[in-house]
């Protein structure tokens, strides 16, 4: 099955690269109903907690921008295929000129380095939001399983591998011409989506506001334990979903399943993908 899904936004070519798919266990999901929790626990192939891990390729005349790099082998055998997806789009790692990280969680940054800690994308810059850089390079981590020392040390290994090519960006600034970072506070301190605008066409990538879209579009109060600031992340999810549905913006996000690109409509307190 194909790992890529392609659209054009003006003159820019945008490709969603499916690094893999997985189901999230009920333990990492908050505000589930008892029935949902039971269904997820009793059926490992349930549709409710299905998730995809997506990276993106944005191509201009002179640049091949990769957004996020997937999770390598850290999340089991169904993930870690970002290079295969890139190859399907006609590129090798050496063709990537720039990488932007929406945030430095393992499923977004692990694919930037191999198991020995060496850079996979030999010619690429390593761009991230300044607040995200400051957060993961601080000494403030405990041994917590989520957002703890292990995750910080992975982020630091990736930063080290690209050390002479790291570029920090302030929110709202261009990543490359035509692609702008968008602040989505809560999931991590420098958590970013991005917009692609060219001519009268636009695309909004909503970062990680949805980890299990089947559940969270229907009930946006369902959250995961991965948020650094859960309250701010919940607020961001609702605000962004309201924004893209009101403005009728074509959108996608880091864990969107199918379709990868679509329009979201508001329906009471829920949201649905437009048919
Ligand atoms: Zn993620």
In the reported structure, the alpha carbon of residue 209 is separated from the centroid of ligand 1 by a whole-number distance in angstroms of: 9
C-beta separation of 7 from 261 below 8 A? yes
Q: Please name every residue paired with 6 in a beta bridge, in sequence order, or none if there are none.
A: 15
Q: Helix, strand, coil shares of the chain as percentages rounded to 5?
A: 25, 30, 45
Q: What is the pLDDT of residue 81?
A: 98
In the reported structure, the alpha carbon of residue 154 is separated from the centroid of ligand 1 by a whole-number distance in angstroms of: 14
Q: Which of the listed CATH numbers 3.40.50.12780, 3.10.20.600, 3.60.15.10, 3.40.640.10 matches domain 4-201?
A: 3.60.15.10
% residues pLDDT > 70 (the chain): 100
Q: What is the pLDDT of residue 44?
A: 82
pLDDT digits (tens, 9 = 90+) for 81-95: 999 999 999 999 999
Q: What is the pLDDT of residue 221?
A: 98
Q: Structural domain boundaries of the chain?
A: 4-201
pLDDT digits (tens, 9 = 90+) for 151-165: 999 999 999 999 999
In the reported structure, the alpha carbon of residue 23 is separated from the centroid of ligand 1 by a whole-number distance in angstroms of: 13
pLDDT (average), residues 217-222: 98
In the reported structure, the alpha carbon of residue 174 is separated from the centroid of ligand 1 by a whole-number distance in angstroms of: 22
% residues pLDDT > 90 (the chain): 97
Q: Is 151 helix (H, G, I), strand (E, B) or coil?
A: helix
In the reported structure, the alpha carbon of residue 152 is separated from the centroid of ligand 1 by a whole-number distance in angstroms of: 15
Q: What is the pLDDT of residue 275?
A: 82
In the reported structure, the alpha carbon of residue 42 is separated from the centroid of ligand 1 by a whole-number distance in angstroms of: 24
CA distance 197 to 129: 19
CA distance 275 to 263: 8
In the reported structure, the alpha carbon of residue 18 is separated from the centroid of ligand 1 by a whole-number distance in angstroms of: 12
pLDDT (average), residues 220-233: 98
pLDDT digits (tens, 9 = 90+) for 90-129: 999 999 999 999 999 999 999 999 999 999 999 999 999 9
Q: Which of 152, 130, 133 is nearest to 141 (CA)?
A: 152
Q: Is 165 helix (H, G, I), strand (E, B) or coil?
A: helix
Q: Does position 140 have pLDDT exceeding 90, yes or no?
A: no
Q: How many CA atoms lie within 13 A of 61 on its CB side?
A: 2
Q: How many other CB atoms sit within 10 Å of the CB of residue 139?
A: 5
In the reported structure, the alpha carbon of residue 155 is separated from the centroid of ligand 1 by a whole-number distance in angstroms of: 14
pLDDT digits (tens, 9 = 90+) for 25-52: 999 999 999 999 999 999 988 999 999 9
Q: Does position 139 have pLDDT exceeding 90, yes or no?
A: no
Mean pLDDT across the chain: 97
In the reported structure, the alpha carbon of residue 34 is separated from the centroid of ligand 1 by a whole-number distance in angstroms of: 25
pLDDT digits (tens, 9 = 90+) for 187-218: 999 999 999 999 999 999 999 999 999 999 99
In the reported structure, the alpha carbon of residue 151 is separated from the centroid of ligand 1 by a whole-number distance in angstroms of: 13
In the reported structure, the alpha carbon of residue 105 is separated from the centroid of ligand 1 by a whole-number distance in angstroms of: 6
């Amino acid at each position: 099955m194909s790992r890529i899904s392609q659209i054009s936004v003006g003159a820019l070519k945008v490709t969603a690269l499916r690094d893999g798919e997985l189901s999230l266990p009920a333990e990492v999901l908050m505000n589930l109903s008892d029935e949902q929790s039971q269904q997820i626990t009793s059926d490992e192939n349930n549709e409710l907690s299905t998730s995809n891990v997506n990276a993106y390729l944005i191509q201009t005349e002179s640049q091949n921008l990769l957004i996020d790099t997937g999770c390598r082998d850290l999340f089991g055998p169904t993930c870690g295929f970002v290079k295969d997806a890139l190859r399907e789009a006609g590129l090798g790692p050496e063709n990537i000129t720039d990488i932007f990280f929406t945030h430095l969680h393992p499923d977004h940054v692990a694919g930037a380095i191999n198991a020995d800690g060496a850079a996979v994308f030999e010619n690429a810059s390593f761009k991230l939001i300044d607040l995200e850089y400051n957060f993961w390079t601080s000494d403030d981590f405990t041994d917590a399983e989520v957002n703890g020392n292990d995750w910080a040390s992975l982020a630091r290994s990736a930063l080290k591998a690209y050390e002479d090519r790291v570029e920090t960006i302030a929110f709202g600034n261009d990543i490359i011409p035509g692609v702008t970072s968008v602040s989505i506070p809560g999931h991590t301190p420098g958590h970013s989506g991005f917009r692609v605008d060219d001519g009268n066409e636009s695309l909004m990538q909503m970062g990680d506001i949805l980890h299990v879209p089947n559940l969270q579009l229907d009930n946006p109060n369902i959250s995961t334990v991965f948020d650094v600031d859960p309250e701010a992340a919940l607020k961001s999810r609702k605000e962004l979903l309201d924004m893209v549905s009101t403005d009728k913006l074509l959108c996608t996000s880091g864990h969107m399943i199918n379709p990868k690109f679509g329009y979201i409509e508001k329906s009471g307190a829920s949201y649905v993908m437009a048919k």
